[in-house]
Structure 1
Amino acid sequence: MPGKEERSATWRHFVESCRNYVQEEWIGLRSRLRFRSVVGEFRRQLSGRTVVVLSAVVPVAAVGAAVVQSHINRAPFAYMVYVNGIYVGVTPDIHSVDRLRNRLGPEAQVDVRSVHMALPASAAEQFWRSLAASPAVPKVYAVYVNGKPVVAVATEEDARAAIERVKALYTPPGGHVDQVAFREKVDFNPVDRWNGATVRTVDEAARILQQGTNVQKHYLVSRGDTLWTIAAAHNITVDQLQAANPQLANPDEIQEGDTLNLNAVQPYVHVEAVQTITREVAIPYDVQYRDDSSMPTGQSKVIRDGAEGRKQQTVRIYYENGRPVREEVLSEQVHQDKVDQIVVRGTGPAAGYAGPNWVWPTTAHLISSPYGEWRGSESHPGVDIAAPYGAPIYASNGGRVIFAGWDSGGYGNCVRIDHGNGVVTIYGHMSQVLVSPGQAVAQGQVIGRVGATGEATGPHLHYEVHVGGHVVDPMPYS
């Protein structure tokens, strides 16, 4: 039921409308009956006959009442609208009521009372304006990104929760987090529920802010899958696959049964975080060479093994949507010095000579992906040796460089060495190439540095051997 205040406002509107109509009718009637002459006669009769006054007033009152009743009967229908029992306005357009019901949704009770009422031409427009100020029309909160509304939620608390949830998703774990903030301007404001906005839950709003509105495809990881094989099978790059899966702390540790997103998302927001951590890192050892003219070129001998050093670093890491984009070393302290490896290499005749023995092509020995490992539709043609970024890469035997540079087939920075007798070795994903095509190299000579160029998920050396143009197991050639 409408409240007393609403009934009073409605009645005042009705009475004002009737009064205006009576005035207009009365003016017309006065003109048609030559009211001036009637008034003159009335005044003459008034000069001594009180009874005449009453007989004149009664017809006039009757005329007024008749005019009011005529106005009521002839006025068009108008519609008094109530939302959840509260009066919100009056409109001449029943379709406005239908639109209001659609916009408020089934959770709002919209009632209508039809009345005869003359309304001004601007009544329909005024009806919609009155809704914005009415406490009966529920509000929602729109989350804005750089001034553009992106998603609506039910309450101010939901808006805050959705924003904080996105921040929490991209807050780096461990260490001291100095700052977590949006690159964009993100805020929220109340808006009218009747404007047609779809109200989302906190989870839905956070997902929209994080991922945009793209529909994602998913992939269930199988035994033997790697990011490289999954990306290749779905015609996307490893970088795109990683961008679509920011939850992967270590891309090399995907497991059977994991679910991955396959399309790179276009988020509405970018969360920038700064974290300060302390970590222990290895100090790669270098290789010192001593020339020996009595040893044929291409032959070498290790006379002192190398050993990595250890140091503690305090590092400030900058993240964007959970992915580190750059680092700043604030301080470091060496706990254990590195020991360089010493290698004697021959400088005698037979440059480019490949001896009967082969050496391991880098300082590390951990094989992260063996030869022949099945990768979707093909097997791995070499071995992947996990090694620190920048670690030296050695020629496994003497020979001549036939390629040195960028390989577009996925190897990144790459060196190929011809050792004669149809034997060619390939060294991929280098961060730095240190030899040139046509150059003769000796066994154990540094030809580059470990990196992660090309189709690589982390720093490692891809070592591959061809004999007679065919891929073979590289382990006997190391």
Structure 2
Amino acid sequence: MWVKIARVTLRDPLLRFVRHLTVLGVIALGVWAVRLGWDTLPAAAAGGLVAEQGETAAQPVAAEARSSGPGMMSLPVYSDAGGQKSGVSRNLMLHTVFPERPRLDVIKYVVSTGDSLFGIAEKFNLKPETILWSNFDVLQDDPHRLAPDQELSISPVDGTLYEWHEGDGLNGVARFFGVDPQDIVQWPGNQLDLNMDPENPTIETGSILIIPGGRRELISWSAPRITRSNPSVAKILGSGACGTVVDGALGSGGFIYPTASHVLSGYDYSSVHPGIDLSGSTGNAIFASDSGVVVYAGWNDWGYGYVVVLDHGIGWQTLYAHLSSINVGCGQSVTQGNVIGGMGCTGNCSGPHLHFEMLNDAYGKVNPWNYLQ
């Protein structure tokens, strides 16, 4: 009887004791497992866990990774490198920057003192030819005609501009400038009907069309090929044209600098400027670059002022422009190095200099820098 009562009386406390002991064992096992995992982590990972739990992060302490058994790789010593965290940073932008849209229409530009054809072209990211082609009524294909207060039309793209005339055909205009008719129609700035008939276009007379990629031959007002056998061909240039010229001195084919200075002043040789501008002062001597005969001596009506042209008799011709004075006359033979005139600024120019050109029967106008000695 007593044994039965004891069993009943101790049963519940005994069960509770076993349950508590089991819980404590599980907790101890968990603590042991966590401790084992913590010790095998590098210091950086341990610091990251603490930070995720919201605790205040202390300065990381370098520690060696421990090996906890076979197959466990040793980790390198952690170094904070100054405590700075690398990553993608966000810069503070006070203003939003919007990309500029490309210009589609023609704008006007007023020439200022000191401007040059090449400087204006660079300002608008265009080729110099585009400025000349688009402004023939102002510049007439001559960079020397550029002057302050002129108003130029600036195309939005390399090419040319064309004023539409009554009776024009789109195919003919496109053919003249070497482009496809659709290049003109599809340029947004022209605002043309994309479905128009190229043979009968509905374009208002007087409209200024942008011809993307269009080009034409530049007109040269300096001098054609003037031979001693036919110097009168230069009558179109002005009063300096010569009449009959008899034979005279022949050149050697070697060319000297026509000025004491070998420094460029103004425009260099290019497709729009077929010569070089050499520096100096008004009255400085201008020398014959090679021996030859004078086939033009006098005023040039197309912006070059006082001009001398020498025919060297061996397929070469040289031109000297913007002179202040001329010391030779038509038909006169000159020897290399003779003074033929004085430096000046006659015609269209912005300061004293010599505009010098070389022309060859086989190659046309050439770059003087390649031949002067």
TM-score bin (small chain):
0.3 to 0.5
Q: TM-score normalized by structure 2?
A: 0.36
With structure 1 as the length reference, what TM-score do the two structures score? 0.29
Q: Between Structure 1 and Structure 2, which shows a larger proportion of strand residues?
A: 1
Of structures 1 and 2, the one scoring higher in RCO (CA 8 A, sep 6+) is 2
